[in-house]
Each structure stands twice: as C-alpha cells, then as structure tokens.
Amino acid sequence: MAIKLSQLRNFTAVVDAGAVRQAARMLHLSQSSVTKSIQQLEQELGVPLLHRGAQGVTPTAAGQALLGRVKAIEAQLRHARNDVEAVAGASVGEIRVSASPTVAMGLLPRGIIAFQRAHPRVTFRILEGVYPDVLPTVRTGDIDIAICLVPGRPRDETLSFISLIKDRLVPAVRSDHPLLARRKLRLADLLDLDWIIYRRSRSGLDVFEQTFVANRLPPPESTVECTSFACALALVESGNYATLVPSQIFASARRPLSIAPVMLDAPMQPWQVAAISRPEHELSAVCRAFLRELRRTAAKIGLPPDGRRRAGRSKPAA
C-alpha cells in the first residue's frame, strides 16, 4: 500500500487542530474516515504517529518528524504552483507572512498595498508571530516570510536574513501625559511609571526585557502584562501607562495621535527589522517579488538615525 496525499493532509490537519473531531469538521469529512486514514498511515509506516489522550492528540517523535517533511512538501508544491502560474503569464499565487504586531502596523501594510497594485491576484495569509518563535515555521515552509524585530542575524545557515530597516523601541505615553513636558529624561527615570509590558515570545528574553537589560536596567515590574499589542496601545491611550513601541509607527503622517513618544537624552539601542525566509532559490517567484517590494518600501520609510521623531508633538495638558 502506498502513502496517499489525502492521508498526509488528514494527519497534518489533526496535528494542527489538536483533535480528530475538529480536524474532520475543517476537512468536511466524517470523524471515522479521518481516524481510519491516520490508522492506515501508521500501519504503512509501522510506527505510531499520535499520542491520543483526554486532552486531545499530539504528535509522537515519529509524527513530529513526518510533520516537518509534510510541511516542507506542501510549501514546495505551493511554490511550484505559483511558479507555473507565473510562467503562464498570470501573476497569481499565495504568500504566507508572519509579522510581529508592531511591524504589522507599519512596514507590512505599506508593502502589501504597493505590491498588490502590480499583482492584484496574489493573495496573502498573514499571521502574528515574534522572533525567535517564528523560526520553526519558516524552516518547514509553513511560513514563507517572517518580518520581525530581531537583536541580530539568526544563527542558522539554512535561513536567509534580509535587513530592511533599523528601528528603536521608544517609550510612549498618551499624547496629553504630563511627562511629555519634561526634558533631559533617561530611561532610568521612567522605571517608576505604570508600564504595560507587551510580551509574546515564549523562548528567551523578549524584546521588552532585552531593551532594559541592554541599558543595564532591571525590567520594570507591572500589574499589566499583555499579549495583545492593540490592547496595550488602547490602555496607554486611555490611561496613565507607558509602553515601548517601535519608532516606525511615528514615522508616518497617519501616526496615532493619541499616543506620543517620550524624548530621551540618549537614543535607545537599535534593532533590526528583518525579513527571514528559507534561501531565496527555494521561494516562489511571487515571494521573491514581494521581498523586493519590501526592500523598496522600507527604503521609503526613512526613520531618523536615532529613531526619534523630529516633528512637533501634541501639547501636553496643563
């Protein structure tokens, strides 16, 4: 008996869903047919692929190895389809992008809008993810391009790293916060503020913590820790809080007027906004074209060298 693509598809769906019932619903199949398909796949390979428990299903070591190969095959098939369609003269295809929430508010929307003017039939799937948590999905091909803040070049020779812009995290408060009237501030002077700690990374120090550590300061303690960047901004806009945001969100004329950067006496440490992917020769033509557009878009943003906004800011309330 040969392994069927439908078996691999069903196996991947079950692992992604964490339950046979939910996977069957997504695949528009009966639960019994999905179960039978995976059992046949296990018999063909001679190893169990799933741990089945009360909390759902998880892949065994063999299942995890198979999953990585299946994801890579799916990515290659998708890229092959994109390339064939491009050769046929139809600029179509799908691009899967992972972006950190801060990048998703600035660079990425501009890049997609500019790209789709020339490639209106290319579709995008956008997921939220942060460095370094996104790297496994890039390696498997589940994500084509990850765009995120990184402290340096990833130590992985299997990945392509393209530096797009340099940015800095800057403290931000509501636009009428009395702190904005003060001068000669240092980051250490802000430690006693009520901070919204935005945290997404599950591995190692996240960007928030690393910013304070790099300035030889302990990360501030806070009663509010948030995994939603939109919620963090809303709290800062409406309350007496501070948080760290990339300066690129203030570089546009359409910047959020309800928050403002706190100008410090010394500039904050630089971070790279990078596009991370598998080697470009493994990407489809539309993905390579989008990388070129990201470079062009990034070159137009033109952040100040120290990442701080030079234009006037809203006058603080008396």
The pLDDT value recorded for residue 317 is: 36
- Tell me: pLDDT of 171 over 60: yes
Question: Measured on CA atoms in the order 176, 177, 181, 187, is the torsion positive or negative?
Answer: negative
Closest C-alpha among 134, 168, 139 to residue 249 = 168
Section 56-60 average pLDDT: 88
Q: How far apart, in Å, do the first and last CA atoms of the chain sit?
A: 78
137 in Cβ contact with 143 (< 8 Å): yes
Share of the chain above pLDDT 90, in %: 25
pLDDT digits (tens, 9 = 90+) for 62-96: 988 888 888 887 777 777 776 676 655 547 788 99
Residue 197 burial (CB count, 10 A): 19
Section 245-260 average pLDDT: 72
Rounded CA-CA distance 10/218 in Å is: 47
Section 279-296 average pLDDT: 90
The pLDDT value recorded for residue 296 is: 93
Answering whether pTM is above 0.75, one says: no
Collapse the DSSP code of 255 into the 3-class scheme (helix H, G, I; strand E, B; otherwise coil) and give the result.
Answer: coil
The pLDDT value recorded for residue 254 is: 56
132: preceding bond cis by omega (within 30 degrees): yes
Range with the poorest average pLDDT among 38-47, 117-126, 219-228, 253-262: 253-262
Q: Which DSSP category does 230 fall into?
A: H
Rounded CA-CA distance 152/158 in Å is: 16
Q: How confident is the model at residue 150 (pLDDT cuts 50, 70, 90)?
A: confident
- Alpha helices (runs of H) in 88-193, residue ranges in sequence order: 101-104, 107-118, 135-140
The pLDDT value recorded for residue 87 is: 59
Range with the poorest average pLDDT among 144-148, 188-192, 263-267: 263-267
